[in-house]
Structure 1
Amino acid sequence: MALNKIRQLDKDSVGITLPKDDMRVEGLIDENGELEGDHHVHIRYVSDGEWKVELVEGVS
């Protein structure tokens, strides 16, 4: 199991790094390892220690 560190981004938010290999499988990363285009996700708290992250299509 890979572990990812939670980082403070600013006063109101934190961030978690998503592995590029997983993003490549979803077609979000190009052959140079760069993010292609703009993408949005919906993050939902499920229960203690669990969140669900879903890619949302069609958001501009």
Structure 2
Amino acid sequence: MALNKLRQLDADSIGITLPKDDMRVEGLLDENGKLEGDHHVHIRHVDDGEWKLELVSEINF
């Protein structure tokens, strides 16, 4: 099991790093390993210590 460290981004946000290999499998990186385009993720708290992340293909406000 891979472990990822939580990081303080600013006063209101915490960040986590997602492995590039996983992002590559999803087709989100270009040939140089850089994030290609704009992407949004819906993060939902499921249970104590458990979250679900879902790549959102369309945003409707």
Common fold by TM > 0.5: yes
- Partner residue in 1 for 2:39: 39
CA RMSD of aligned residues (A): 1.2
What stretches of structure 1 of length at least 5 have no aligned partner?
none
Matches within 5 A, 1:7-26: 7-26=7-26
Aligned residues: 60
What stretches of structure 2 of length at least 5 have no aligned partner?
none
- Partner residue in 1 for 2:28: 28
3-state DSSP of counterpart to 1:24: helix
Spell out, residue by residue over 1:1-39, the C-alpha distance to the aligned partner (whole angstroms, 9 max, x if none): 110000000000100000000000000011110000000
After the TM superposition, list the runs of 4 or more consecutive aligned residues in structure 1 that deviate by more than 3 angstroms: none
Percent of aligned positions with the same letter in both sequences? 80
